[in-house]
Amino acid sequence: MSEEIIKGFSALSKEEKLQFVVRRLSNPNEKEQLFHESMFKDEKLRNSFLELSENSIGSYHIPYSIAPNFLVDGKVYHVPMVTEESSVVAAAAWSAKFWADRGGFNIENITTTKLGHVYFLWKENPLDLTGNWPYLRFLLLERIKPHIASMESRGGGVLSLELENLTYSMPNLFRVNVEFETVDSMGANFINSCLEEVSQELKLYYATNLTENGESSIEVIMAILSNYTDGCVVTISASCKVSELDNIAKGTSGADLARRIQLAYEIAKVDVYRATTHNKGIMNGIDAVLIATGNDFRAVEAGAHAFAAATGRYSSLSKCTITNDTITIRLTIPLALGTVGGIINIHPFAKISLELLGNPSSKELMKIVASVGLASNFAAVKSLVTSGIQQGHMKMHLTNILTSLGADDKTKEAAVLYFEDKKVSYAAVKEFLASQK
Ligand code: MEV
């Protein structure tokens, strides 16, 4: 069914928008009630939450879970994770405990520089522009001074501002590269505001500069931060003796398990099909913590996958080595995060998550998030090279299937017992339910 184009939807009241939606659904009264029940009861909270996005009419629920026992740089964290995917939290929690008993996750390197760019076309001799750059650069820095004062008082600000000639990739194209330190804020608004000041000043400076044809010699195209945050990167690792992997998988020695795990990491290094899925297993953990702490997971996803392709060939973000009977897993990933500002000030659960983590700095949060990513990755790979993921996954999924088929609590308990030593599938669960009638 195709709908008709509607005009002025955004001007409708919240209630009108809700009516617009439920009128299109079966059992509209029931659905309307569901939408109402999806929201916070407290009016102030409900309104500030709904105002986060345009045309909002309700709240979409995703489970809020805890993966306990992450030992990161000698400190223990019980980590909030928001995800709907069965097994992700259980796997992260298993891995957290496994590594906590073996020294935990340790930081090897961390950088926090964020980047933004102003793209413009220069339609005259490039030498006119580059020759003028030292003075123009001074003017641009002067222009943004008032906008960075508050950030500077918090220890951040602009680290560098340089001109780059990109005419080798596109005729007339130049870019102003600005490096920022935004301390504990993700800094998107701060960065974009500074960049827009830079582009205004560029336009102003060349306002009367015309080419022979009478057109402006400069055309500013856009000013925007980059989500390719290769200056904001954390490297985290965990290691243990291969003998400490004994008894993890039935019938497999620690040495053999370590060998198989390493092989799986090597495959992800060289094969794009596996690398993508391998990295998805990392992002399973990372996104869940980002959502729980009010961070922009789309930005991190975009940056992480670009980073995975930094050599020109998409590869795995994590690696595994075995030397002197010690297995080491290591993850290097760009994570531009914030622990103040943005939705953190508004979303009560983002605040709760950060409090649970001890109100970390953004640097500390980078370490925690990377650890959860590496933990999730290790748990997935360990399962893949031993029992396969379906065993654990389908056991978790069993509850979802039972719920979707309308099983009551008693039947669910019976099903869990029944499927303890059997393969879970939708058809098998349906058959089991039929046998219970
Ligand atoms: C499923 O969400 C994630 C995995 O596919 C990751 C992996 O294959 O490493 C299990």
Which of 253, 250, 116 is CA-nearest to residue 191? Answer: 116
Tell me the two tokens of residue 227: 């989500």
Predicted local distance difference test score (pLDDT) of residue 147: 95
Judge whether 11 lies within some domain: no
Judge whether 317 lies within some domain: yes
Amino acid at 328: T
Q: Which residues of 263-285 are buried (b: 16+ CB within 10 A; e: fewer)?
A: ebbeebbeeeebbeebbebbbbb
Residue where a domain stops, chosen among 176, 207, 225: 225
Judge whether 10 lies within some domain: no
CA of 380 to the centre of ligand 1 (A): 6
The residues, ordered by sequence, that sit 6+ positions from 134 with a Cβ below 8 Å of its Cβ are: none
Assess whether 241 and 368 both reside in one domain: yes
CATH number at residue 179: 3.30.70.420
Ligand 1 site, residue 367, Cβ cutoff 6 A: no
CA of 381 to the centre of ligand 1 (A): 8
Predicted local distance difference test score (pLDDT) of residue 342: 86
Tell me the two tokens of residue 67: 């993966």
Assess whether 218 and 128 both reside in one domain: yes
CA gap 289, 92 in Å, rounded: 11
| Model confidence band, residue 215 (pLDDT cutoffs 50, 70, 90) | confident
Assess whether 201 and 244 both reside in one domain: no
Ligand 1 site, residue 374, Cβ cutoff 6 A: no
Predicted local distance difference test score (pLDDT) of residue 260: 97
| Model confidence band, residue 421 (pLDDT cutoffs 50, 70, 90) | confident
Q: What is the pLDDT of residues 265-275, one digit of tens each?
A: 999 999 999 99
**Reported pTM:** 0.92
Amino acid at 405: L
The DSSP secondary structure of 247-279, one letter per residue, reads TSSTT--HHHHHHHHHHHHHHHHH-HHHHHHHH
Total domains present in the chain? 4
Assess whether 54 and 79 both reside in one domain: no
Q: Are 81 and 89 in contact (CB under 8 A)?
A: yes
Judge whether 12 lies within some domain: no
Residue where a domain stops, chosen among 192, 225, 258: 225
Assess whether 47 and 167 both reside in one domain: no
Predicted local distance difference test score (pLDDT) of residue 387: 82
Q: Are 14 and 50 in contact (CB under 8 A)?
A: yes
Assess whether 253 and 379 both reside in one domain: yes
Assess whether 81 and 187 both reside in one domain: no
Q: What is the pLDDT of residues 338-364, one digit of tens each?
A: 999 988 888 999 999 999 999 999 999
Judge whether 1 lies within some domain: no
Assess whether 256 and 201 both reside in one domain: no
Burial class (CB in 10 A: 0-12, 13-18, 19+), 385: buried
Assess whether 175 and 74 both reside in one domain: no
Predicted local distance difference test score (pLDDT) of residue 388: 84
Judge whether 71 lies within some domain: yes
Assess whether 404 and 356 both reside in one domain: no
Ligand 1 site, residue 285, Cβ cutoff 6 A: no
Assess whether 240 and 373 both reside in one domain: yes
Domain ranges, residue 98: 65-109+231-387
Q: What is the pLDDT of residues 273-289, one digit of tens each?
A: 999 999 999 999 999 99
Assess whether 291 and 339 both reside in one domain: yes
Judge whether 4 lies within some domain: no
Instruction: Among 260, 266, 283, 284, say which to mutate for ligand 1: greatest number of ligand atoms within 8 Å of CB.
Output: 284
